[in-house]
Amino acid sequence: MNTKKSLIAALVIFLGLGMSSFKGDDRNFQIAKNLDLFNAIFKELDMFYVDTVDVEKMIQEGVQGMLSLTDPYTEYYPEEEVSSLKEMITGKYGGIGAAIRYYEAKDRIAVVEPTEGMPAAEAGVKAGDIILSVGGKEMVRGDMKPQEFSGKVSEALRGEPGTSFVLRVLRPLKNDSTVLEFKLTRKNIRTNPVPYYGLVRDSVGYIALTGFTDNCSKDFKKAFIELKQQGARSLIIDLRDNGGGSVGEAVDIINYFVPKGQEIVSMKGKLKQAQGSYKTQNEPIDTQIPLAVLVNGASASASEIVSGSLQDLDRAVIIGSRTYGKGLVQTTRNLPYNGTLKVTTSKYYIPSGRCIQAIDYAKKNADGSVARTPDSLTNVFHTVAGREVRDGGGIRPDIEIKEDKFPNIIFYLMNEDIIFDYATQYCWDHPTLASVDAFQLTDADYEDFKKLVKSRNFKYDRQSEKLLKTLKEMAEFEGYMEGASEEFKALEKKLNHNLDRDLDHFAKPIREYISQEIITRYFYQRGAVMERLKDDKDLEKAVEVLGNSAEYTRILSVPVAASAAK
């Protein structure tokens, strides 16, 4: 009897272990099962579907569908696209140094911006030139989509440094066009992460940083030291529209202003190898110089590490609008057939302990969309001095300045190349400009621009008209139209499309975009930054704060009431 009980007990234990083991293997079983299903479905389609399936396209769509369930930063790069990933990480590529895009008026690819000091600019290639052929090969679109066409021309322009080719372009002139040829030799192109730095006031230094590419910290250091030598006693770091990049480069830049050994970023992920931290490794350059950091809604990732860490350490006043909120870290994994997977492996946390990720991609709405973390669900953290800061929604500036809204009309003026074409026309009439400071778009110039707009029979999508139409349809459907018809007529009259009125009403922002485009033709990105600084609310506030030591100290200190409460 005891033997029988022992056998039963052993069997129960065995079955229990078996069930436990099965549960532990359930995830592996589900993976194997679904991979088998995917493979089987594809084989059945390939064999029995009435038409021949596009193998590569079908599998690619499946991969993209799988990745769409993660986040926008987890991406697959097949072999032919790996070079673009490396360029994004390093900021380097082999080519001629010229931005290009599809130009609908000619159904060709146009040069939109040669890079200062690079082969295209040095040879005399200009923005507005229409690419006809590269190395003797005609660049025509055929049945390609515009984006595919741009990719084809871009690939033709790039290549091994030291290789040469002839670029044939059509240059639009005032009353005619002419075909030009340039012999260009490719070289290693590196995007300049510091397009401009200088003294914006007598003793206020300014550095624009557009990305955190490899070795950008060295470019930043050079600019900072030169500004100190020129007499800078305070510094503005402009991270607006900076989408981020290397975390290591961000930490190195922070290190110029904070002591050695300070932990800046910690990373927490599912796997042990995805965890770690970054500390400052070197002696700083200046731990006392007053700092202001400019940010906006397009400042992300490494930009948020810099601005957030300097805020957490009470080392800088942050000015502008709330940042994007990307607290996710990506690494690359090699795949078969020379592909690469860029995958999110962890989240990063800055000195106060907060993570600034604004969106939880694991939690999606019923329609598949995702939303930012609401302020009510964010948590309070504290800076070194004890100031309150929050997680879950990017970096909130110490001084918030509302961003100007982007008028709808500007999008269409740019999309239809009207601003681009006017800048080309302006360059016909003004072969040279003395300086950025001397440039001003006159009222007469703007009148010429308006004439160009009208000559194109320009029309654009006005959201107010679309919404009014929708409201009118809904009122008719619900039976309210009869009593509100007069009000609708009055509103339609007020919202009637009036191009003259819109060009005058939005003249200030339109003129700013025209001026940026024109200045870039003569002085490249350096000039574009200088032009933007002519009328810059964020910059003026930063100069004001840095010029008032008492105000600067007050912002970085704990309010008296909060201090007493502790």
Q: What is the pLDDT of residues 250-272, one digit of tens each?
A: 999 999 999 999 999 999 998 88
- Predicted local distance difference test score (pLDDT) of residue 13: 46
Q: Which positions are catalytic? A: 301, 312, 326
- Predicted local distance difference test score (pLDDT) of residue 142: 93
Query: Rounded to whole angstroms, how far apart are CA atoms 193 and 209?
Result: 6
Do 98 and 120 touch, CB atoms closer than 8 A?
yes
**Helices and strands counted in the chain (H then E):** 18, 21
Do 357 and 347 touch, CB atoms closer than 8 A?
yes
Positions in the chain whose pLDDT score sits under 50: 1, 3-4, 6-15, 19-20, 563-566
Do 395 and 318 touch, CB atoms closer than 8 A?
yes
- Cα torsion 466, 468, 471, 473 to 10°: value is -70
Query: Rounded to whole angstroms, how far apart are CA atoms 284 and 305?
Result: 18
Q: Which residue has the tokens 């083991």?
A: 21
Do 329 and 347 touch, CB atoms closer than 8 A?
yes
Please, which residues have CB within 8 angstroms of residue 448's CB and are 6 or more apart in sequence? 422, 425
Residue 377 burial by CB count (10 A; 0-12/13-18/19+): exposed, middle or buried? Answer: exposed
Please, which residues have CB within 8 angstroms of residue 527's CB and are 6 or more apart in sequence? 436, 519, 520
Query: Rounded to whole angstroms, how far apart are CA atoms 225 and 204?
Result: 13
Map 433-455 to HEC letters. CCCCCCCCCCHHHHHHHHHHHHH
Query: Rounded to whole angstroms, how far apart are CA atoms 532 and 520?
Result: 11
Query: Rounded to whole angstroms, how far apart are CA atoms 344 and 329?
Result: 6
- Predicted local distance difference test score (pLDDT) of residue 560: 55
Query: Rounded to whole angstroms, how far apart are CA atoms 65 and 228?
Result: 52
- Predicted local distance difference test score (pLDDT) of residue 522: 96
- Predicted local distance difference test score (pLDDT) of residue 440: 95
Q: Which helix (H) or strand (E) holds 348?
A: strand 340-349
Total-model pTM: 0.86
Please, which residues have CB within 8 angstroms of residue 3's CB and are 6 or more apart in sequence? none
Q: Dig out the tokens for 250 from the structure.
A: 């961000």
